[in-house]
């Protein structure tokens, strides 16, 4: 069985000239590979900048893999343990 780990695209918008006001958004789309994610980001960033009335230079982006399935299992175990212990 092949483990498939999709990539998520995050875009950081620097709203102010002084990087005090920033907005980090995960784009609502997953990608099959990091290369595909970066290629899509190049196409998407112009549109994101235009819609936000920003310069493209005010955007930063990252393509990050989804967490490993074991992280989700650990989260569920912690949540179940906390429920059993009444926390």
Higher pLDDT, 4 or 78: 78
Number of folded domains that form the chain:
1
DSSP labels, 18-83:
STTSEEEEEEEEEESSHHHHHHHHHHHHHHHHHHTT--GGGEEEEEEEPPPHHHHHHHHHHHHHHH
Tell me the per-residue pLDDT of 45-81, one tens digit each, with 9 for 90 and over.
999 899 888 888 888 899 999 888 888 889 899 999 9
Establish if 60 belongs to a structural domain.
yes
Q: What is the pLDDT of residue 70?
A: 86
- Domain membership of residue 14 as a residue range: 7-84
This model's pTM is above 0.95: no
Residue 1, domain member (yes or no): no
């Amino acid at each position: 069985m092949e483990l498939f780990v999709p990539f998520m695209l995050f875009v950081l918008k620097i709203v102010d000239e002084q990087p005090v006001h920033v907005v980090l958004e995960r784009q609502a789309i997953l990608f099959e590979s990091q290369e595909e994610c970066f290629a899509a980001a190049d196409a998407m960033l112009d549109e994101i900048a235009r819609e936000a009335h920003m310069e493209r230079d005010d955007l930063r982006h990252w393509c990050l893999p989804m967490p490993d399935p074991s992280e989700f299992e650990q989260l569920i175990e912690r949540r179940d343990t906390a429920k059993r212990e009444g926390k």
